[in-house]
Amino acid sequence: MGDSLITAQSLLDELQAFQLEQTLFEASPPGRVETLAYAGGEVQRLYNEYWTARQRQGHSLHELSYRACFKAELPEFFIRRLSEPGDRVLDPFMGRGTTPLQAALMGRIPCGNDVNPLSHTLLLPRLDPPRVWEIEERLASMEQELADPGPDADEPDLAPFYAPGTLGMLRALRHRFRDGAALGRLDRVEAWLCMVATNRLTGHSSGFFSGRTMPPNQAVSSETQRKLNARHGEAIPERDVFAVMHKKSRGLLRDVTDGTRSTLLSVREQACFLTGAADRMDALPDDSIQLTVTSPPFLNVIDYAKDNWLRCWFNDIDAEAIGEEITTTSKLERWCEIMGSCFRELHRVTRPGGWVVFEVGEVRGGKLLLEEPVLPLATSAGFEPIAVLVHEQDFTKTANCWGVDNNSKGTNTNRMVLCQKPGEVGA
């Protein structure tokens, strides 16, 4: 690694003076600074708009919906400043894989971990994207070959989500992808199509396989969906499954160039992706990670396994077993124990002079700001807290999805604890 990486003091100076040039609203929140004391020291808490509120500003490969995911601009902001091409960038709670994908797009070596293997399904195909013509040829052949195999004995009640013909084709795709994986015949094109189909299972519009559901990254229970159908009084439409996958694939590949493919290829073989607890990433060597950008579960605000049950069904994953391993405690003390263990593991894998960006939020109606209990956890693990950044903006996606007033409900700010592992940079 070269000597061009920013120091803690120069980074802090830049953040204090930061002014975003491109904003969505003329009256963006002004930057402000306050001192935050915690058990073990004090840091500056900086409030600002660090990236634009404009939608669709990230690379098109990021456009997979997922519950409570952050925008690609968040990891991009830190990857650009705190790492160089060839460095390893990690997310131990990677979800849909925003941080590893952004790292790969920027020529960094992506590393990730999640307790749910669904993360691999959603991320890995985007690191090796097929060409549009390959997708079109495969879809055409599959449309001719596939037929409804009928429901499996343990199939959940899917009638509230899908019209009969649509459901039959989804069963056929599920069998095709599952059997292909078991026999080692799931090539890059069909891995991509499995990812796209997983992403299109539920949503509001004709761009999804389902009838009208909750926002596209959340599948309610079959019973609840049946009640929603009755409330809306809408018939469930048949969908052209292959046309939906084709359209979404073209959208995801919109920004992919030969240069994009070359960059992804240059880092793909060195990438490391794990499935398991974030405090036991044994396959990652000591002192190997330059930068971590992550967002852990916020107490029990989101039930990730329950929200993803339909995606897990499609990918033959036991959602209940996964749910038992995901951190969804409502007790702050227990949450801190788990996060403290995660910070100790991050300290092990982070190289001297390396960084951790730990993104949390406000919960319990804004009464609990999670950066405050996180700071002493980071200090106890051996990190030096540098600052807390609070990204504020007038527009929030929560308002857009759920039809509530801006900044009135849900988690409306990104609250990022920025830490550095002491030691000589690059040691």
**Interval 402-424 mean pLDDT:** 70
Q: The tokens of 92 are what?
A: 């131990």
Q: The tokens of 165 are what?
A: 């013909």
pLDDT in tens, 119-141: 999 999 999 999 999 999 999 99
pLDDT in tens, 71-86: 999 999 999 999 999 9
pLDDT at residue number 371 = 95
Contact 202, 220 (CB under 8 A): no
Please indicate whether residue 217 or residue 209 has the higher confidence score (pLDDT): 209
CA 259 vs CA 237, 255, 265: distances in Å: 40, 10, 10
Query: What is the reported pTM?
Result: 0.92
Q: pLDDT above 90 covers what percent of the chain?
A: 71
Contacts of 195 (CB under 8 A, 6+ apart): 64, 121, 122, 125, 126
Q: The tokens of 186 are what?
A: 């799931």
**Residue ranges with strand state E in 312-349:** none
Helix (H), strand (E), coil (C) string for 54-97: CCCCCCHHHCCCCCCCCCCHHHHHHHHHHCCCCCEEEECCCCCC
Q: Angle, to 10 degrees, between the axis of helix 164-182 and the axis of helix 241-252?
A: 60
**Residue ranges with strand state E in 231-341:** 272-275, 289-294
Domains of the chain and CATH, by start: 8-116+257-302+322-420 (3.40.50.150), 132-252 (no CATH)
Contacts of 191 (CB under 8 A, 6+ apart): 121, 124, 125
pLDDT in tens, 330-344: 789 999 999 999 999
